[in-house]
């Protein structure tokens, strides 16, 4: 029988685990310094500025080509999602109205169970 | 056994055979991995009750013959999708609650649209949550509502509960909810006010991109992503491991952007000025003090939470004004506390035991 002491696979897994912990600890210490924050935010600020400028440039280019930009396509997709949401909401309202007026049919509008449940006596944790 | 070397020579052929079989399985399953899409998540039957831009309110269809009187509204964190609480049958917190007789609603978020960059903390706390609570009341026909907030959903629930102290919130449960933002050491350093120009960022990009949010989470444990991929390769022969990996990996990388103005407030009021902890927080001019929350309160924290360390969450229980309050620390991390095999055994039964008594 092999155990964890002499199992090379288990030893490898343990080593990987230890390396992960060690690297994370080391990196966390390095990232806790004000110098790291300064460098990270300087790079981030430059990237955000560049991203904004590039976005604006691309937008102008796409407008000149009479093509929709990514934002516009995303906007359309999200409008579609919003319309779907509104339809779902209307459907739910209709189901609710049908339920209140006793016209319910199907799983969407099934009569809800009574709100009479009591916790199990004894109050012990259930598993 | 060679006692001196500590090696079991007799077991070596068996071990080699097992490893060869696994290597073959890895090759077969590795191809499968890339040609399939993984388990379907968030499939518990539900109806959309309300949908306004980034906000969606779901009602899950009951799964028991009778339900508790008080409905439950789950408020999800704004950085992530709610399906972490509804992974697959047998590992779904939502399904667990439904089978235990709760009437469950969820306030979930989708990516804010570009024009929603102006959403403020006020919109979340004074509009979205109260709107959902009203809708839950209408739909259930009950005045009382229990609220469960996960991570930053817990912060929003605390702000809501402290402002709307006269109801209708009947019970409040927070999972891994930070209030002392100084103790989120790395996030605090990343957003150091001397170097982090939040105004410039928000004014440049509008909504804060999900890549930035994801990177800041991943930077907390920079080696873990690589190691998890090594572990995936080692265990790719194991269907259960792969299924679990895919569920959690998909969720973790499915990060949402944050509305710009909302992010600006989080940075300035919470990360910089620590206002919730210092009792100086206000939302839309309305004071939000934790001592004003008087309803029964449960806070579940994780022993190995690297995103919200215990130091950032531990003062919550003392600051809450309720008489009936409890903090429970459970084994696990930020996500495994609420989802996955450990949550099934630890958090979920504890929550059921606590909430059932307070839901009649």
Cα(B81)–Cα(B78) distance, integer angstroms: 8
Distance from CA of B286 to the nearest CA of A (A): 31
CB contact under 8 A, B48 and A42: no
Select the residue from B221, B272, B357, B358 to test the A interface by mutation, using most A Cβ atoms within 10 A.
B221
Q: What is the pLDDT of residue B290?
A: 96
Q: Can you tell me whether residue B297 is helix, strand or coil?
A: strand
Q: Which residues of B touch A17 (CB under 8 A)?
A: 227
Q: Average pLDDT in the B82-101 region?
A: 91
- pLDDT less than 70: residues of chain A: 1-6, 102-110, 122-127
pLDDT tens, position by position, B248-296: 888 888 889 999 999 999 999 999 999 999 999 999 999 999 999 999 9
Which of B66, B173, B103 shows the shortest CA–CA distance to A118?
Answer: B66
Q: Please give the backbone phi and psi of residue B8, each rounded to the nearest 5 degrees, phi first.
A: -105, 90
Q: Which residues of A touch B6 (CB under 8 A)?
A: 5-6
Nearest to B223 among A1, A24, A112 (CB): A24
The tokens of B176 are what? Answer: 């891994």
| B221, pLDDT greater than 50 | yes
pLDDT tens, position by position, B40-57: 778 899 988 888 889 999
Q: Average pLDDT in the B104-115 region?
A: 91
Q: Average pLDDT in the B212-240 region?
A: 80
Q: ipTM score here? A: 0.72
Cα(B274)–Cα(B38) distance, integer angstroms: 41
Cα(B360)–Cα(B352) distance, integer angstroms: 13
pLDDT tens, position by position, B169-193: 999 999 999 999 998 877 777 888 8
Weakest mean pLDDT among A71-85, B181-195, B296-310, B332-346: A71-85
Interface of B with A in 320-349 (CB under 8 A): 345, 349
In 10 A of CB B65, how many CB atoms?
A: 10
Cα(B94)–Cα(B44) distance, integer angstroms: 8
Which of B67, B93, B97, B96 shows the shortest CA–CA distance to B82?
Answer: B93
Nearest residue on chain A to B345, judged by CA atoms?
Answer: A127
Cα(B30)–Cα(A28) distance, integer angstroms: 33
Distance from CA of A49 to the nearest CA of B (A): 6
CB contact under 8 A, B68 and A117: yes
H or E element at residue A57: helix A34-64
Q: Average pLDDT in the B84-96 region?
A: 90
């Amino acid at each position: 029988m092999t155990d964890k002491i002499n199992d090379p696979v288990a030893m490898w897994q343990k080593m990987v685990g230890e390396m992960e912990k060690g690297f994370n600890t080391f990196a966390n210490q390095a990232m806790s310094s004000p110098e790291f924050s300064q460098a990270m935010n300087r790079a981030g600020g430059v990237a955000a500025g560049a991203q904004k400028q590039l976005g604006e440039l691309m937008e102008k280019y796409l407008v000149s080509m009479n093509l929709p930009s990514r934002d516009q396509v995303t906007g359309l997709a999200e409008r579609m999602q919003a319309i779907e949401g509104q339809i779902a909401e209307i459907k739910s309202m209709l189901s609710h109205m049908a339920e209140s007026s006793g016209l319910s049919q199907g799983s969407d509008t099934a009569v809800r169970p009574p709100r009479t449940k009591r916790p199990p006596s004894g109050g012990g944790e259930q598993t | 056994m060679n006692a001196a070397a500590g090696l079991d020579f007799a077991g070596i052929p068996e071990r080699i055979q097992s490893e060869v079989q696994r290597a073959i399985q890895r090759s077969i399953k590795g191809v499968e991995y890339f040609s399939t899409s993984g388990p379907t998540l968030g499939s518990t039957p539900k109806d959309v009750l309300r949908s306004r831009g980034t906000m969606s309110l779901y009602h899950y269809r009951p799964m028991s013959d009778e339900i508790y009187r008080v409905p439950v509204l789950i408020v999800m964190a704004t950085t992530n999708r709610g399906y972490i609480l509804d992974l697959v049958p047998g590992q779904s917190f939502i399904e667990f609650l439904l089978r235990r007789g709760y009437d469950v609603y969820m306030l979930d978020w989708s990516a804010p649209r570009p024009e929603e960059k102006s959403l403020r903390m006020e919109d979340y706390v004074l509009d979205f949550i109260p709107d959902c609570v009203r809708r839950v009341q209408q739909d259930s026909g009950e005045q009382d509502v229990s609220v469960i907030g996960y991570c930053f959903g817990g912060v929003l629930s605390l702000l809501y509960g402290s402002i709307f102290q006269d109801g209708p919130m009947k019970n409040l449960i927070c999972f891994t909810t930070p209030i002392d933002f100084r103790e989120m050491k790395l996030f605090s350093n990343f957003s150091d006010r001397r170097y982090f120009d939040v105004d410039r960022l928000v004014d440049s990009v509008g909504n804060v991109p999900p890549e930035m949010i994801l990177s800041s989470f991943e930077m907390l444990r920079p080696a873990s992503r690589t190691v998890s991929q090594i572990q995936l390769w080692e265990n790719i022969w194991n269907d259960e491991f792969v299924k679990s990996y895919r569920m959690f990996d998909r969720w973790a990388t499915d990060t949402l952007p944050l509305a710009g103005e909302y992010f600006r407030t989080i940075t300035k009021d919470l990360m910089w000025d620590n206002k919730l902890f210092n009792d100086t927080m206000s939302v839309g001019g309305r004071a939000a003090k934790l001592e004003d929350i008087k309803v029964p309160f449960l806070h579940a924290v994780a022993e190995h939470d690297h995103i919200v360390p215990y130091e950032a969450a531990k003062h919550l229980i003392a600051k809450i004004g309720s008489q009936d309050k409890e903090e429970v620390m459970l084994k696990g991390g930020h996500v495994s506390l609420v989802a996955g095999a450990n949550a099934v055994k630890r958090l979920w039964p504890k929550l059921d035991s606590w909430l059932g008594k307070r839901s009649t």
